[in-house]
Amino acid sequence: MTTDISTRSSAAPCSPRTSPSGLALAILLLGGFLTVFDLFVVNVAIPSMQRSLGADFAEIGFVIAGYELAFGVLLIAGGRLGDRYGRRQLFSVGMIGFAATSLLCGIAPDIESLIFARFLQGAAGAMLFPQIYALLRVMYDERGRSRAFGLLGMTLGLAAISGQVLGGLIVATDLFGFGWRMIFLVNLPIGITAALLAQHIPESHTANAPGVDWLGICLATAGLLFLLLPLLEGPNLKWPLWTFASGAAAFAMITTFLRWEDWLGKQGGDPTIDIRLFRNTNFSISSLVVFLIYSTATSLFLSFALLVQSGFGLTAFESGLLFAPASVGFVIASLLAPALVVRFGPIVLVFGALTYAGGIGWLIVTGNSLTDRGDVIALLSPLILFGFGQGLSMTPLLNMVIGTVAERHAGMAAGIISTMQQIGGAFGVSIAGMFFVAIVAAKDSRIVARPLDYADAFAGAMLYNFTAVISAAILLVLISRRKPQ
């Protein structure tokens, strides 16, 4: 479950309060719940969306990846805008924007409109989410802050579980005949109410806050879009020439982005990312670990939903219930991880990654053995192992990465890692989708694929996940043996 999203401001906050309004805390937690819920809820609704809108895998991939991409590239900008113009104000604007874009998702007449609306929804989420972390830091003293962040962690974990189970229930019950559209429409009254009640949150901002590098953000966004487009569309279209041209354009734009960031930093400007941080080898390797680990999460949810719903005929609610124990395993491991890391050190992350890989490998073997609808219950045990390993590796990962840099760089490092989490998720959807589509197309020339075709496609797509997590485990071993820089 990709819930360890965090951005930090390195500037001095306003004076902390020891007993802020309980309503203020509840509103901030609600904002965190909505953004993570909407990241997960789409997975169980994907097959329903495909049938309703006549969408192919590439288009559905963009529904998920577009949200994560916009969220990821704009997180740092959202944090800086809140520092400069007021965190409560940006939270309110972001919440209204999230409600409005959720409405656009819910009434989208076609798949292209839904993709565009999801991109806007991710951008709105990036405006409100950083303010939650910043406001919790400035609202409380050290003791209260620990409790508040603990509640936030529990809320985000609950959002991940609810996205699977409650989302499946909403789709399956077909409230008011709206079907999958209701998973977005429920955000409208909740978002508007939260925005109106945000006046109970104390305002705070930072003097001399850094500016927003809009050129850098545009270059990064364009480069990533040009990279994801051929990965999602290529398998369906048999890799036409434009897909290679798009890849070349992506390389050029991302290279330009990195050079611009380096130049801007040397000129004393406010780059989106500080390239100098990557001269720290431990931070660079850790960033790659984050990218690899988080690239496996959303792609598995998508492939799993297609396997059990499109392949074996489970309803969205049944799919969510089947996956729920994995979420419980994630929460349990997340609660255990901090104490285990304190006692045994970074080797816990290696063990967590290997457990995570073991769960994926078990899912691959079990998925290949499925023959009919009644067999899917066999996925339950590997899903629990998968969730436990994911929580044990993901939860302490952010703290480990931040620990590789000097304290004065912690804010920038956290922003970079948060961005890597979301971009990794978008990339993973693209890569897993590439394998999934290619295998289904190769196995079946008919209009409707067979359940066994979906089982083979799921196993093939998960080979990327297994390889990525094993690679991350190897890198974690390397980090644990290196001296701090």
What are the boundaries of each domain within the chain?
Answer: 20-198, 213-271, 280-485
Reference 70, options 484, 468, 453, 426; nearest CA is 426
pLDDT of residue 164: 79
Same fold, 20-198 and 280-485: yes
pLDDT at 84: 86
> Rounded to whole angstroms, how far apart are CA atoms 98 and 76?
17
Predicted pLDDT of residue 17: 47
The 10 Å Cβ neighbour count of residue 176 is 9
pLDDT of residue 14: 46
The pLDDT, as a whole number, for residue 252 is: 96
CATH match of 20-198 with 3.30.420.40: no
Specify the pLDDT at position 301: 85
Tokens of 197: 């009640």
- Consecutive H or E run containing 484: none
Question: If DSSP codes are grouped into helix, strand and coil, which group holds residue 56?
Answer: coil
What Rg value do the Cα atoms of the chain yield, rounded? Answer: 21
| Residue located via tokens 């079907």 | 179
The helix (run of H) or strand (run of E) holding residue 37 is: helix 22-53
Outline where 206-346 has alpha helix (H): 214-237, 241-266, 281-294, 297-305, 316-344
Distance of CA 383 to the CA centre of its chain: 19
3-state secondary structure (DSSP) of residue 431: helix
115 near 42, Cβ under 8 Å?
no
The CATH homologous superfamily for domain 280-485 is: MFS general substrate transporter like domains (1.20.1250.20)
Question: How many Å from the N-terminal Cα to the C-terminal Cα in the chain?
Answer: 30
Token pair of 202 as six digits: 């104390």
CB 317, CB 57: distance < 8 Å: no
How much is the pLDDT for 18?
Answer: 46
Closest CA to 129 of 28, 209, 21, 1: 28
Show the tokens assigned to 62: 């963009």
354's CB contacts (< 8 A; 6+ apart) are 389, 470, 473
Contact criterion met (CB below 8 Å) for 220 and 272: yes
Mean pLDDT, contiguous 10-residue spans, the chain (485 residues): 49 48 89 88 86 85 89 88 90 95 96 95 92 83 73 76 83 86 93 91 81 91 90 82 94 95 90 87 90 88 87 87 85 85 87 95 91 88 92 82 75 80 87 78 56 83 93 91 66
Q: Which distant-in-sequence residues (6+ apart) come within 8 Å of 287 by Cβ?
A: 278, 401, 416, 417, 420
298/118 Cα distance (integer angstroms): 15
d(Cα 452, Cα 446) in Å, to the nearest integer? 14
